[in-house]
Amino acid sequence: MASSSTDVLDGGWGWAIVCASFMAQLLAYGSPQSVGVLYPEWLNAFQEGKGMTAWVGSLVSGVGLIASPICSACVDNFGARPVTIFSGVMVSGGLMLSAFAPNVQFLIFSYGIVVGLGCGLVYAATLTITCQYFDKRRGLALGIVTTGTSVGAFIYASAQNELIVMYGLDGCLLIIGAVALNLMACAGFMRPLNMPGYYLKQKAALERNTEEQLFEKPPLDDLTIIAGSTSTTPDKSLMVKEMLITIDTKDSAVQTEKKKGSFLAGLAIIKVIKKKQQAYSKYMHSMYEIMQDQSMMSFCISIFLFSLGAFPPVLFIEDVAMSQGLMEEVSVIPLVSIGAIASCAGKLLLGMLVDIKWINGIFLYAFTMFAGGLTLFLIPLTKSYLGLQILSFVLGFFSGNWSLTSYITTKIVGLDKLTQAHGILMFFGGFGIMLGPPVVGWFFDWTQSYDLAFYFSGGCVELGAVILLLLNLPCWKRKSAKSSESDRPDVQYTSNCDKVASVA
């Protein structure tokens, strides 16, 4: 069994899993990542404030990140294939419901929450099944899979523009929702290597039921005397008495066993509860240790500030061009598409740069934040559509620094605590994504201009870069952090997988 399982890794059907996961992320995240194209249409359709309407785009991207622990638990218990099928129903249903939204509040639920949770389930399922099929080439496989979001945003931005022109906003959402049903087809390729927890529990329950059937009473037909026989011989009566005595003995034995079994079951439940409490206390203690790490906390704060400031342009950049009169008609390649394809290039290039030995991952991330914040400061000063295209490309490229998060987190906390630390990091990032667009929209509603809003966004990103840089300088390191680092062995990367792992 061990040899057969190892033969499956790093090739074979695993590449079919990569293609299916890539398409799943493309279909799920295509519309949410290019929501900036839909945002001006919603403003015209519902005549709500920009701050209120911005909640739709912020929730669809932030809810999936915040709910990532729940999504991962669903994949562990039910498997990647059922979760992907269910997420296809959620994403498609949410998009189709949004076509019939009577107001922004309904749209926040249908598009923001329903589609957002569906995307979170897809993300967890695709990454889990890909990690199961790859070992040495895991980083490369995850890098290919995660670029599906950027490619989807690039394709969907132009496609949604054309569909809105041809069929209107409602028709566009209905067609995009129907296309999202192909997530079920992608799920068909996700053949599990290991049985998920739900099926293992069902199998154990069936085995217990089979054992209990051995103690059941024999059928009553074995005790009936043939009808019409008025005479009962001594042998017959003796045989019936023996059978009745045997049944009584069995009944008493079964009752005794049930009493013992119920007592033992109670003890087992108590033991399970104690084990759960111990595991929970260990988990909370581990989380506390992670939060005590100065580098980790500075990274979490910087992720929050970067998400708070750098995500709103994805939603507002098209409206900025329209409000300033920089584009008179629908562009063939929207600004959202330019940012998406630049983000894809940034993920790959920054992932390769961080593998160079003399480059520090944290300082590289701080540099991308400085450059991204400077780009945000330049957006209000730009008075041409070409300038917005260039700035969208630059900002999209440096937004590809999301590919560095797992690499930097591993460097800070080690491989053992990577899952917990990455979950904390995604929570901070999702919280920033949820707050960013509404705050920028409220700034516009207050000042009737995007200038102050983008200055605020750029200031948040620059502040995060300063915090990350200063708290990770050698002279600012605490002595306790140094002692803890001496106790924990450094993480060494020796395989080709680790050279590409940052792309994931």
How many of the other CB atoms lie within 10 Å of CB of 119?
A: 28
Quick: pLDDT tens for 222-262. 444 444 444 445 554 545 455 545 545 555 555 555 555 56
Closest Cα partner for 298 from 491, 67, 463? 463
pLDDT at residue 68, as a whole number: 76
Answer yes or no: do 495 and 393 share one domain.
yes
pLDDT the model gives residue 158:
85
Answer yes or no: do 160 and 266 share one domain.
no
The predicted pLDDT at position 294 comes to 83
Tokens found for residue 166 = 């041809």
In a domain? residue 19: yes
Give CA angle at 305 (304, 306), nearest 5°: 95
190 φ/ψ angles, rounded to the nearest 5 degrees: -85, 70
Identify the domain boundary among 247, 271, 288. 288
Residues 160 and 13 in one domain: yes
387-441 residue pLDDT tens: 888 998 999 899 888 777 777 877 788 766 766 777 788 888 888 888 888 888 8
State the Cα–Cα distance between residues 314 and 349, nearest whole angstrom. 21
The two three-digit tokens of residue 174, written as one number: 């209905």
Which of 288, 315, 334 finishes a domain? 288
Q: Is residue 2 part of a domain?
A: no
Q: Does residue 308 lie within any of the structural domains? A: yes
Write out the H or E segment, with its range, that includes residue 99. none
Nearest-Å Rg of the Cα atoms of the chain is 30
Query: Do the Cβ atoms of 163 and 175 come closer than 8 Å?
Result: yes
User: Is residue 373 a part of any domain in this protein?
Assistant: yes
356 shares its domain with 499:
yes
Secondary structure (3-state) at 74: helix
Check whether residue 147 and residue 282 sit in a common domain: no
Give domain status of residue 191, yes or no: yes
Count of domains for the chain? 3
Q: How many CB atoms lie within 10 A of CB 146?
A: 23
Asked if 158 contacts 333 with a C-beta cutoff of 8 angstroms, the reply is yes
Token couple for 157: 């931005």
Question: Does one domain contain both 247 and 387?
Answer: no
390: number of CA atoms within 13 Å, CB side? Answer: 9
237 with 178, same domain: the answer is: no
Task: Answer yes or no: do 258 and 306 share one domain.
Answer: no
Distance CA 341, CA 490 (A): 35
**At 325, which CATH number?**
1.20.1250.20
Name residue 358's amino acid: W
Residues 278, 334: one domain? Answer: no
pTM given for the model? 0.67
pLDDT tens for each residue of 35-71: 888 888 898 888 888 878 888 888 888 888 888 778 7
Task: Let me know if residue 488 belongs to a domain.
Answer: yes
Which tokens sit at 293? 């790490």
Are the C-beta atoms of 53 and 111 separated by less than 8 Å? no
Q: Are both 268 and 383 inside the same structural domain?
A: no
Work out the widest C-alpha separation in the chain, in whole angstroms.
Answer: 113
For residue 380, what are its two tokens? 């209000």
Residue whose token pair is 């500075």: 298
- Domain encompassing residue 463: 293-504
Residue 26 lies in a domain: yes
Domain assignment present for residue 214? The answer is no
Instruction: Name the strand (E) or helix (H) holding 110.
Output: none
Tell me the pLDDT of the chain (504 aa) as tens digits: 334 444 456 677 888 998 999 999 999 998 888 888 888 889 888 888 887 888 888 888 888 888 877 877 788 778 889 999 999 999 999 999 999 999 999 999 999 999 999 998 998 888 888 877 877 776 677 778 878 888 888 889 889 988 998 999 999 999 999 999 999 999 999 888 776 665 666 666 666 665 555 445 455 454 444 444 444 455 545 454 555 455 455 555 555 555 555 656 666 677 666 666 666 676 677 777 777 888 888 889 999 999 888 888 877 887 788 777 766 555 667 788 888 888 888 877 887 787 777 888 888 999 999 999 999 999 888 888 888 889 989 998 998 887 777 778 777 887 667 667 777 888 888 888 888 888 888 888 888 888 888 899 999 999 999 999 888 877 665 544 444 444 444 444 444 434 433 334
Residue 476: how many CB atoms within 10 A of its CB? 12
* Half-sphere exposure for 303 (CA within 13 Å, toward CB): 28
Alpha helices in 326-360 (DSSP H): 335-353
Instruction: Please tell me whether residues 250 and 342 are part of one structural domain.
Output: no
- Is there a single domain that holds both residue 84 and residue 182? yes
The pLDDT value recorded for residue 476 is 65
